[in-house]
Amino acid sequence: MMAQTCLFIAGSGTIIKLIDDEVLQMTPGEKRIIIALFNQIYGNSKRDNLLQDAILIFKLELLPINDIH
């Protein structure tokens, strides 16, 4: 899957809580990989395009606001 830039305000609750929490601990330029089970992210709710036993991998890079195009 291709990487996508996702713009959001950290701590606003507009993105998955696990990602939000990690981003709040990061410094600009830092990269992290988060590996989580489906139920850690979505609980018992269903997602049409994901299996409930899926392992989800998120690659994060916190860009300084002046580097966003």
Digitized pLDDT (tens) for each residue of the chain, 69 residues in all:
666 778 888 888 888 889 999 999 999 999 999 999 999 888 888 888 888 899 999 999 988 877 555
Residue 35 included in any domain: yes
User: Which of 3, 68, 59, 61 is CA-nearest to residue 27?
Assistant: 61
Classify residue 2: in a domain, yes or no: no
Helical H runs in the chain?
17-24, 38-42
Give pTM, 2 decimals. Answer: 0.75
pLDDT computed for residue 6 by the predictor: 80
What pLDDT does 27 receive? 94
Per the structure, the count of domains in the chain is: 1
Provide the token pair at 68.
Answer: 């966003």
Q: Which two tokens stand for residue 3?
A: 């990487």
Name the residue range of residue 27's domain: 17-67
